[in-house]
Structure 1
Amino acid sequence: MSSHDLVALIQLVGFQMLLYAGMWVAAYAIVGEERAAVRHWLAFSLLSGLGLLLIGLRPHGHPWVTHTLPNLCFVLSFVAVRRGSELFLRMRPLDLEHAVLTCGAVSMLLLVGPDPADVAPRVATVSGVAAWVLLRSSWVGFAPVHQQFGERTAWAATLVPALFGLLHFLRMARAVASPEQSMELDTPVLINQAVLYFSMVAAAVFNLLFLFLIVLRLMARLTYLAQRDPLTGLLNRRAMQGLLEREWQRYARLRQSFALISLDVDHFKRVNDHHGHEAGDRALVHVAQLLQGQARELDGVARMGGEEFLLILPGHEVSMAAQAAERLRQALAGGPVMLREGLDWPLTASFGVAAPRPGDHELEDVLRRADEALYRAKAAGRNRVVVQPPGSSDHEPVVQACTG
């Protein structure tokens, strides 16, 4: 490849990086909580693109502008991309390491300057920073990417940067071992061509992959919000309905038991009427946290509306569910709840428990019995657990399992 062709390739990669910078500018408006990471990736793309375009000006232009400044841009860009990845993956940014790396490399580049006789220190410094950042980021980043997005994504996100880091390591080693053979990036030698071609591939993989991961995380967040009650964070009615239907289908096919606990906060209207909706909201949040804290990981807990909640307990017979409901009742009635400073309010709830039985034809049969048990618990004086035995007929009285 001739020097002219290599400069054209450098400029092409530079414009490619500026296009990615434009992509991150557009993404910034919609990414929400990922904006901190996007700012770093925008800086990475801008600095990389600027550095490459400045190299493309050689041999024209002031040496400090076309030799030293591009290398400074590259050092800052690598540190920026690493810190942005740490923020995106919810890792603790290694700011001390970043500062030491940046200060050391910048000091070396300013000390060496653009002197043609000092090509080797410049190449070793920039390639050393690139190798360290890429290899270390690939090593420490694999586990969090694997945990959050899966094994295949982890390999895709770390393998290409690791290979690019190895290429920079070889370039640094060559500069250290054979200073007289060190060449600036615009010198038409094989390793420089390899660095530029690999830069195009690595930049495409990184920018497009992490944009995809941002969209994936955004979709997951939207799905989560669509299934959650905004006040309590519990499942909402729609999400619980889907969970109930799946559990009913499992019961219908495999006869795997499950139980329902329907509960209603006692005299909740008094809280709203006497102390306002803010106090009522705090009461509901307290109940939700208690239910979620007592539930198993496989249980479903939902706020069905107002002060009504529903739990589904896979694998539970009705007697086991009654015991679980009684534990919840005792925990809730254990003491007053501070709804605001100076206001402690006793909270209790009424519980209805039901489970499928052989004569049930649809899920609604179980839900209806759980609601009937709840209504009888309230009619019997509240703050109690009532169970309708799964083998009883609809006209038989509900058995009061526990009282407060």
Structure 2
Amino acid sequence: MTLDAPTLVIVTVFVMVVMGALYLLSWSQARRTLALGFLGAAQLLGAVAVILFGLRGLIPDWLSIGLANAVMLTASGLIWGGARSFEGRRVPYLWIAAGPLAWLAACLVPPFYASLGARVILCSAIAGLSCALAARTLWHNRGERLPSRAPAAILLASEALLIWARIPATLVLPAPPTGMPGQTLWVAILCFVALLYTVAVSVLFMALAKERLEAEQRRAAETDPLTGIANRRALAAEAQRILAAGPAALLLFDLDHFKRVNDTFGHAAGDAVLVGFCALARQILPAGTAFGRLGGEEFACLLPGAGAAEAASVAETVRVAVSAMRPDLLPGLAVTVSIGVARRAGGPGTGDFESLLGLADRALYQAKAQGRDRVVLAGPGLRQVA
């Protein structure tokens, strides 16, 4: 098989159609990921544009030039729209349509339509802008750690630069030979580059969707569904990392007489108390704290680098705040919490999370035995915090 322009046009169209179908199939199975639908449509429209380009000389110029470039610019805009949709941002449909509409309006001006250079410059400027905006959209949300994010943004940025490079090239290089584009080296080069970018962008966006799905599943497996904080497994894993790095203090919380709340006011009220406690604790606990639900009405947090006095102070602040908490639906319901505090030097050989939890649990037992609604610090003699 000779890799001439007609062959490359056929291969490029085939690859684009296959990639577009795969995107749409993936979207049909994950409707929440609307970006897959945008990218599938972009690939299919790109295939239509390549077919129209490849038929230059066999069909009217208004189809192979005017409509072909309008379709191609729409496909480029949909890639930008797909990137924004993937990041949960509003899709700018009017701006996506502005590119091809500006192109079609320009083609109605005879001097512009007659100038190959003018057509290349305008089309390249719009298509490159769409790729650059898509790259910027992906790059600006790097806080969500997806391995394929940076490569996808860099690839789109490089595509934008390559497209924009046609502008100075048009101004300084001689015009390509006229005639059927299928017989020119220019079309072969453009088809080959489009083929490479089609495959690379498609693979990276598929990888991004897969990585996000895996991250969401991982977060769901590590999150308590009621309160939205870490569950016991996730908290234990984070606590082990903190303890391996240095000293830390553990605060063990138990909401007082919680069973009575459920029995008297119902489980909906009990759930509201749990959610309210977590929201309050999150506001009070220092940044970098590992906070999670151990089960039922029992919660724990690990304060990295905290000394005994600092940990006791934080615990007392939480206790006082909880005692002033009044659920909106049940303003007469008084909520209190008992807290056990334990500290460990941390580092290798200083014990694990479960042993530290055992120390805090003994302190918590003493707090409840002494009347609840208090803080007890683990250590020799187990002392209550004033």
For 1:351, which of 294, 315, 339 is the aligned residue?
A: 339
Give 1:208 deviation, angstroms.
Answer: 0.6
Residue segments in structure 2 that go unaligned for 5+ positions in a row: none
* DSSP-derived class of the 1:383 partner: coil
For 2:201, which of 188, 197, 206 is the aligned residue?
A: 206
What CA distance in whole angstroms lies between the structure 2 residues aligned with 1:399 and 1:233?
A: 33
TM-score (norm 2): 0.85
* 1:230-269 correspondence to structure 2 within 5 Å: 230-250=225-245, 256-269=246-259
Give 1:247 deviation, angstroms.
Answer: 3.9
* DSSP-derived class of the 2:344 partner: coil
For 2:277, which of 275, 287, 294 is the aligned residue?
A: 287
Q: Which amino acid aligns with 2:202?
A: N
Relative to 1, partners in 2 of residues 1:74 and 1:373: Cα closer, same or farther, differing over 3 Å? same
Give 1:218 deviation, angstroms.
Answer: 1.6
Q: Which amino acid aligns with 2:127?
A: A
What CA distance in whole angstroms lies between the structure 2 residues aligned with 1:213 and 1:183?
A: 42
What CA distance in whole angstroms lies between the structure 1 residues aligned with 2:149 and 2:234?
A: 28
Q: Percent identity?
A: 28
What CA distance in whole angstroms lies between the structure 1 residues aligned with 2:179 and 2:335?
A: 74
Q: Name the structure 2 match of 1:56.
A: 54
Q: Name the structure 1 match of 2:128.
A: 131
What CA distance in whole angstroms lies between the structure 1 residues aligned with 2:53 and 2:147?
A: 38
Q: Which amino acid aligns with 2:140?
A: P
Moved more, 177-186 or 91-100: 177-186
Moved more, 11-20 or 46-55: 46-55
Tell whether 2:83 aligns with 1:72: no
Question: Do the aligned residues in 1 keep the contact of 2:79 with 2:134 (CA within 8 Å)?
Answer: no
Residue segments in structure 1 that go unaligned for 5+ positions in a row: 251-255
Relative to 1, partners in 2 of residues 1:124 and 1:54: Cα closer, same or farther, differing over 3 Å? same
Give 1:92 deviation, angstroms.
Answer: 5.3
Question: Do the aligned residues in 1 keep the contact of 2:5 with 2:184 (CA within 8 Å)?
Answer: no
Q: Name the structure 1 match of 2:27.
A: 28
Question: Do the aligned residues in 1 keep the contact of 2:376 with 2:385 (CA within 8 Å)?
Answer: yes
Q: Name the structure 1 match of 2:156.
A: 161
Moved more, 351-360 or 313-322: 351-360
What CA distance in whole angstroms lies between the structure 1 residues aligned with 2:252 and 2:145?
A: 36
CA RMSD of aligned residues (A): 3.3
Relative to 1, partners in 2 of residues 1:291 and 1:66: Cα closer, same or farther, differing over 3 Å? same
Tell whether 2:212 aligns with 1:217: yes
What CA distance in whole angstroms lies between the structure 2 residues aligned with 1:124 and 1:247?
A: 56
Give 1:82 deviation, angstroms.
Answer: 0.9
Question: Do the aligned residues in 2 keep the contact of 1:89 with 1:144 (CA within 8 Å)?
Answer: no
What CA distance in whole angstroms lies between the structure 1 residues aligned with 2:158 and 2:178?
A: 21
* DSSP-derived class of the 1:337 partner: coil
Q: Aligned pairs, how many? A: 382
Relative CO higher for 1 or 2, CA cutoff 8 Å, sep ≥ 6?
Answer: 2
Moved more, 229-238 or 168-177: 168-177
Give 1:162 deviation, angstroms.
Answer: 3.5
Relative to 1, partners in 2 of residues 1:52 and 1:381: Cα closer, same or farther, differing over 3 Å? same
Q: Which amino acid aligns with 2:96?
A: H
* DSSP-derived class of the 2:376 partner: strand
Moved more, 317-326 or 55-64: 55-64
What CA distance in whole angstroms lies between the structure 1 residues aligned with 2:117 and 2:180?
A: 12
Relative to 1, partners in 2 of residues 1:30 and 1:328: Cα closer, same or farther, differing over 3 Å? farther
Q: Name the structure 2 match of 1:306.
A: 296
Relative to 1, partners in 2 of residues 1:158 and 1:248: Cα closer, same or farther, differing over 3 Å? closer
Give 1:83 deviation, angstroms.
Answer: 1.4
Q: Name the structure 1 match of 2:82.
A: 84
